[in-house]
Chain A
Amino acid sequence: MNLHYLGAELFHRPRRSLAAILSMMLGVALLLSLQAYSNGYRLAARAPLAEIGADIAAQRQGKVPQAFEGILFPHSTAPIHSDEIDAMRRIPGVEDVGESVFFWDFEKSGFVVVLGLDPSSKTGPARLKSAVLQGRFLETSDHDVAVADATFARSNDLSPGSKVSIAGSPFEVVGLVDTSRIGQVANANMYIMVDDARALAHAAKNVLAVHDFRPTDANIVFIKANQAKVESVAKAVGSVLGSQALVSSSQTFSDVIGQAYGLVDRFSWLVGLAGLLIAVVGLVRSISSALRERRRDIGLMRAVGWSRGNVSTQLTSEAVSLAAAGSLAGLVLAVLVSRALSLMRVSIPVPWELSPTPHFLPGGATPMAVSISLVARIDLLPAALAVGLSVLCGLVVGLWISRRATHIRPAEVLRSE
């Protein structure tokens, strides 16, 4: 292969080179952009749970409360017993489990949504500790203290040091947090220690009237799982909880995002590869047309002493170079497209079972959504695959075309032209 001749052919036949490069560029850009778009939505679907450091939220449907007084469990948060939580911990792929007790407290003075959490847990709403605006967060030795959501605190005139009553028990507000930092999943008005929440729920007559809630139980379990096993873990968690299981994972959010994403996610590789195939057809057309133009040059190569191998290597190198240049240009275009896609915001509806507000209260029936930026990035593996596949296509096309070229009879082309 002569690099100088290769460069001269590519540079001095700009229309042909550009047509081939453009064709491969569009094919690769389409493939990678669709992958980036699909990945962006996949990441977006993970975001609502990822914001609280979990991959799965496990709940169980139970009975509807009989009376709306004192502490109640929403019917989507029936008790999950400690032996069931232990069974979840043992599922292969589970990395961490965070237990919470979620309840509504209907008092004469007003309604409050309360979440009991373990502040030492890395999975679940304990991540709110990074969202403290005033005062401090809950600590493992705490008892009868609460952290209030900043918006709730503002409307109820609460600040660190204020006293509040939850189910008739006094709690001291020790800090204010910005709940919006953990999105719309598992947020509440007041956050207390999980053991305090368990004790309150275990003593609540309207909870015990419809549920078998024991002092070591929880009613929302957040699970961090091995990324490759999230869906199998979710399925196993569903089996542990039985027919009334409500297991939310990124798939749950994907399902509610809509059909458009489903189509992109399902067919992105197929459409991308079809685009690449069309690009390869463009490359074949471009190189075939060049071959027709260069029949005389190829005849001359053979006439002045180039072997078939020399001719084949030269022409194949040209095809591979065009494919490589096109795929690299496509990679750059795909990066630009992914940057543009990243300017989009995606609204992800939150399933009803993860909504903290009772639907019968004002605003409670309004569908909730998490709005996040689409992180459409080009991953290394698809990029390397696309470039590698393009170069391979260039190689195959080059070998095929050069095979045809070496059968050109120099005496014919040098005579007739």
Chain B
Amino acid sequence: MGRSGSGKTTLLHLISALEAPTSGSLFFEGEEISALNEDRLALWRRQHIGLVFQAFHLIPTLSAVENVAFPLYPMKLPPEERRERARARLEQLGLGHRLEHRPSRLSGGEQQRVAIARALINRPTLILADEPTGNLDKKNGEEILALFNKLNEEEGVAMIVVTHDSEVAAVAKQSFTMVDGMLEEGSK
């Protein structure tokens, strides 16, 4: 966690290789990620990383189930399989009744759950979430955090969540504080 402008999002972008480090290297499971080219990085993200954003970043022209399947589009999979996997994830997150709704017809909490389902669709090793509750009310925020905990416990997905909200940080098993771009060890 950290205050606005402390470098939390930059750190998340570095970990997900959306930004290249100006110095130093990024390793993932022993592989030097920062040495890969753009397309290899995209493939690496598809295989290992799930991203959740504060602003959800859903494609407005696609339905919920299509948004969840979006990372699978470049893969050579039968459309039925893509849809089935996306449907299963949405039902797991309690959105089985909203499959065909486009983002504009979903509440903020529902949109964020669609975004989480999208992050999970490739069974990633790591989920990176940038202020995932920042655009949600308290009740929806709590539901999302509970969902993260459940996914972590039941599916063993590691999660790195950045937030400026100490209540969100309190839910984490381990927390760090960022100050002026530097990571400090937190209270847990």
Which residue numbers of A lie inside 8 Å of B, CB to CB? Answer: 2, 4-5, 8-9, 11-13, 296-297, 300-310, 409-411, 414-415, 417
Contacts and interface: CB of A to CB of B under 8 A. Distances in A.
Contacts of B9: 415
A14 to B, nearest CB: 11
B43 A303 contact: no
Interface string B24-40: 00000000000000110
Given A411-B19, A414-B53, 5 more contacts: A5-B61, A5-B70, A8-B61, A305-B71, A417-B57
B89 interface: no
Interface string B1-28: 0000000010001001011000000000
B57 A296 contact: yes
Nearest to A305: B46
28 contacts: A4-B79, A5-B59, A5-B61, A5-B70, A8-B66, A9-B61, A12-B102, A13-B61, A296-B57, A300-B59, A300-B70, A301-B70, A302-B18, A302-B38, A303-B18, A303-B45, A304-B45, A304-B70, A305-B74, A306-B73, A306-B74, A307-B74, A308-B39, A309-B39, A310-B74, A410-B18, A414-B53, A417-B57
Contacts of A310: 73-74
Interface in B62-78: 62, 66, 70-71, 73-74
Contacts of B88: none
A414 B57 CA distance: 8
B90 interface: no
Contact of A305 (B43, B53, B66): B43
Interface of B: 9, 13, 16, 18-19, 38-39, 42-43, 45-47, 51, 53, 55, 57, 59-62, 66, 70-71, 73-74, 79, 102, 118, 122
A307 B60 contact: no
A414 B13 CA distance: 10
A415 B55 CA distance: 9
A304 B66 contact: no
A409 B43 CA distance: 16
Contacts of B61: 5, 8-9, 11-13
A411 B13 contact: yes
Given A305-B45, A307-B43, A5 B66 contact: yes
B18 A411 contact: yes
A18 to B, nearest CB: 15
B99 to A, nearest CB: 14
B71 A304 contact: yes
Contacts of A417: 55, 57
B79 A304 contact: no
Nearest to A8: B61
Contacts of B62: 5, 8
Q: Which of A4, A8, A13, A305 has the most CB of B within 10 A?
A: A305
B89 to A, nearest CB: 14
A331 B74 CA distance: 34
B73 A2 contact: yes
B172 to A, nearest CB: 22
Contacts of A5: 59, 61-62, 66, 70, 73
Contacts of A300: 57, 59, 70
A410 B39 CA distance: 13
B44 to A, nearest CB: 8
Contacts of A305: 42-43, 45-47, 71, 74, 122
Q: Which of A11, A12, A414 has the most CB of B within 10 A?
A: A414
A415 B9 CA distance: 8
Nearest to B121: A304
Contacts of B57: 296, 300, 414, 417
Contacts of B71: 304-305
A296 B74 CA distance: 18
B118 to A, nearest CB: 7
Contacts of A297: 59
A303 B60 contact: no
A10 to B, nearest CB: 9
Contacts of B79: 4
Nearest to A304: B71
A308 B38 contact: yes
A307 B38 CA distance: 8
B49 to A, nearest CB: 8
Given A5-B66, A411-B19, A304 B60 contact: no
Contacts of A9: 61
B39 A303 contact: no
Q: Which of A9, A300, A409 has the most CB of B within 10 A?
A: A300
Contacts of A309: 39
B38 A414 contact: no
Contacts of B53: 414
A409 B122 CA distance: 23
Contacts of B55: 417
A303 B19 CA distance: 10
A327 B51 CA distance: 40
Contacts of B18: 302-303, 410-411, 414
A303 B18 CA distance: 7
A9 B158 CA distance: 34
Given A4-B79, A296-B57, A415-B13, A302 B42 contact: yes
Nearest to B46: A305
